[in-house]
């Protein structure tokens, strides 16, 4: 979008928050870059130039605006709606892969050379993987500076910087303030004192956002010990590269309040990325709802409660295991089966603020389970053990960077994997916005009540008009049935 100057100018002059994250406005006279909704008086048109990413702005010599905080904009919705190499690279960079594995590690995961990835990212985003990762490190550092009492040296290495000097230089360059000045400014604002070991932050999103199906679904399907709904917040444990964490996510009118407790602050970038992915916060709800509203049978559902998101997962392997446990059983039964696995194979954790007790077991932890101990039909046991084996040996990958169609083809070859299981994994674990569940019982009931075709083939043909947002259509169709997943818990 940043190449359409006229459209960008209109968005800036109207301070339209829907375009935050789509592009960034750099002001030639002040050498500052802003989000489109910046509250200051818009600059003259001839002084504006536009960039596709904060990293491109920083690379061109602009610093972040202190009023609108462009580093806290929602991410571009393009990276959620696409599965090409650039979108997959951006999701991996958001997960901190460049900081942990370097550019060669990023390229290896994508199956391209480092030079090819560099070329593709420069062409589309105006910055290479190192510059994009540097911009993200600066944002992580600012969060740690402003929300914790960590010494600056610890902040530098937790944010992914290789040296304190690089950390100081980057923070000064990006924010025009020294790290100590950022902390002093944050301390002046009227905020409650920080809880030791807890990072509190705001997760932005594009309005509207309907929390009912999003948090209702997560709460209704929560695995005891791993997830819970407490005091108006969805809480769960996280398995992270350097340790584990506990997150509490609370819906607010203009943001999601996030409280993170991490055993190692180096996991902050990935934890934030996983939470945003879980809640689908980088979606463009206006674009989605406008297309679905064009169908006269879906329009009343969209108008009644716009802004529905697709509830995802923090770990693709975890969700795949839970999807198998949920085959042809009720939500309550699926939770019971999962809770038994957690108790037997999950790593215990301490949760002083609530009732979380375990991490969900990794595929490696489940590799040694005895199928005979599972209270499941024999065919389901085979399905589960085969899935765990494929995840453990690496022949099946279910990360945010995986190719959607190739992974579908791999899943369908596993015993016991039918279209429903494959598509629900594609929707919630892989993040495909066009995943569709024509054989789902709730979808078939909704189709009958709304007058949509009831057979899977006919319904799929009718749903072609909803592409590429059929996963969001599923969320609206599920609301026809009065199920706990559609309501916030009391």
Question: Which of the following is catalytic: 71, 284, 432, 440?
Answer: 440
For residue range 185-242, list pLDDT tens digits in order: 888 775 655 677 789 999 999 999 999 999 999 999 999 999 999 999 999 999 999 9
Round to whole Å and give the CA distance between 157 and 167: 8
Active site residue 440: yes
Q: Are 416 and 381 in contact (CB under 8 A)?
A: no
**Other CB atoms closer than 10 Å to residue 471's CB: what's the count?**
25
CB 250 within 8 A of CB 236: no
Nearest-angstrom CA–CA distance, 390 and 238: 22
Helix (H) or strand (E) holding 51: strand 48-51
User: Does residue 108 fall inside a structural domain?
Assistant: yes
- Outline where DSSP puts E strands in 100-252: 198-203, 227-230, 233-240, 243-251
Beta-bridge partners for 23:
20
Residue 307 falls inside a structural domain: no
Q: What is the mean pLDDT of residues 33-58?
A: 94
* CATH number of domain containing 24: 3.40.10.10
- Indicate whether 35 belongs to any domain: yes
Please check whether residues 96 and 180 belong to one and the same domain: yes
Do residues 240 and 271 touch, judged by C-beta distance below 8 A? yes
Q: Answer yes or no: is pLDDT of 54 > 70.
A: yes
- 311-355 pLDDT, tens digit per residue, is 999 999 999 999 999 998 889 999 999 999 999 999 999 999 999
In a domain, 182, yes or no: yes
- Report how far residue 379's alpha carbon sits from residue 384's, in angstroms, rounded to the nearest whole number: 9
The total number of structural domains in the chain stands at 2
C-alpha distances out from residue 481 to 195, 292, 308, 442, 476, Å: 42, 19, 16, 7, 10
Q: By residue range, what is the domain housing residue 21?
A: 5-55
Tell me which of 131 and 369 has the higher pLDDT.
131
In-domain check, residue 33: yes
Looking at the fold, whether 85 and 184 belong to one and the same domain comes out as yes
What contacts 24+ positions apart, CB below 8 Å, involve 227-230?
227/356, 228/354, 228/355, 228/356, 229/489, 230/354, 230/355
Question: Which of 188, 210, 239 is the C-terminal boundary of a domain?
Answer: 188
| 257 in a structural domain | no
Clarify whether 95 is annotated catalytic.
Answer: no
First to last CA, the chain: 42
Neighbour-count burial of 162, counting CB atoms closer than 10 A to its CB (0-12 exposed, 13-18 middle, 19+ buried): exposed
What's the pTM? 0.92
What is the Rg, in whole angstroms, of the alpha carbon atoms belonging to the chain? Answer: 23
b (16+ CB within 10 A) / e for 363-375: bebbeebeeeebe
Q: Comparing C-alpha atoms, which of 405, 399, 391 is closest to residue 434?
A: 405
pLDDT digits 0-9 by tens, 60-74: 999 999 999 998 888
48 and 118 within one domain? no
Kindly name the residue from 8, 20, 34, 57 that is annotated as catalytic. Answer: 34
What CATH number did the domain enclosing 160 receive? 1.10.10.60
Do 184 and 141 lie in one domain? The reply is: yes
Average pLDDT of span 258-270: 95
Residue 49 within a domain? yes
Sheet bearing 227-230, strands edge to edge: 198-203, 256-262, 243-251, 233-240, 227-230
């Amino acid at each position: 979008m940043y190449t359409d100057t006229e459209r960008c100018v209109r968005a800036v002059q109207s301070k339209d928050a829907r375009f935050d994250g789509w592009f960034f406005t750099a002001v030639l006279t002040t050498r500052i870059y802003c989000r489109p909704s910046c509250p200051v008086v818009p600059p003259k048109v001839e002084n504006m130039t536009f960039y596709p990413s904060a990293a491109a702005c920083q690379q061109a010599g602009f610093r972040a605006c202190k009023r609108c905080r462009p580093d806290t904009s929602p991410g571009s919705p393009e990276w959620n709606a696409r599965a090409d190499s650039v979108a997959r690279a951006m999701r991996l960079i958001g997960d901190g892969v460049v900081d942990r594995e370097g550019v060669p590690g990023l390229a290896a995961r994508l199956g391209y050379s480092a030079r090819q990835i560099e070329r593709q990212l420069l062409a589309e985003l105006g910055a290479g993987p190192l510059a994009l990762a540097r911009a993200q490190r600066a944002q992580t550092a600012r969060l740690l500076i402003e929300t914790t009492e960590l010494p600056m040296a610890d902040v530098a290495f937790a944010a992914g910087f290789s040296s304190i000097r690089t950390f100081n230089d980057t923070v000064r360059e990006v924010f025009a303030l020294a790290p100590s000045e950022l902390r002093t400014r944050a301390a002046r604002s009227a905020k409650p004192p920080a809880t030791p070991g807890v990072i509190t932050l705001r997760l932005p999103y594009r309005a509207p956002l309907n929390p009912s199906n999003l948090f209702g679904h997560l709460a209704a399907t929560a695995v005891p010990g791993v997830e819970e709904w407490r005091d108006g917040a969805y809480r769960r444990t996280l398995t992270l590269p350097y340790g584990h964490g506990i997150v509490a996510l609370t819906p607010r009118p203009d943001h999601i309040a996030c409280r993170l407790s991490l055993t190692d602050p180096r996991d902050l970038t990935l934890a934030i990325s996983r939470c945003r992915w879980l809640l689908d916060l980088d979606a463009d709800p206006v674009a989605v709802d406008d297309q679905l509203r064009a169908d006269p049978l879906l329009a009343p559902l969209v108008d009644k409660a716009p802004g529905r998101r697709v509830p995802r997962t923090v770990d693709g392997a975890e969700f795949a295991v839970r999807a198998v446990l949920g085959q042809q059983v009720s939500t309550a039964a699926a939770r019971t089966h999962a809770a038994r696995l957690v108790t037997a194979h999950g790593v215990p954790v301490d949760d002083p603020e609530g009732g979380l007790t375990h991490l969900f077991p990794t595929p490696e932890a489940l590799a040694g389970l005895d199928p005979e101990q599972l209270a499941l039909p024999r065919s389901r046991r085979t399905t589960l053990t085969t899935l765990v084996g494929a995840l453990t040996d690496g022949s099946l990958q279910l990360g945010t960077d995986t190719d959607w169609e190739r992974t579908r083809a791999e899943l369908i070859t596993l015993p016991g994997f039918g279209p429903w299981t494959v598509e629900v994994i594609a929707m919630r674990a892989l993040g495909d916005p066009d995943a569709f569940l024509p054989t789902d019982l709730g979808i078939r009931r909704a189709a009958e009540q709304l007058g949509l075709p009831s057979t899977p083939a006919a319904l799929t043909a009718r749903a072609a008009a909803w592409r590429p947002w059929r996963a969001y259509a599923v969320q609206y169709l599920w609301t026809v049935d009065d199920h706990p997943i559609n309501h916030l818990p009391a």
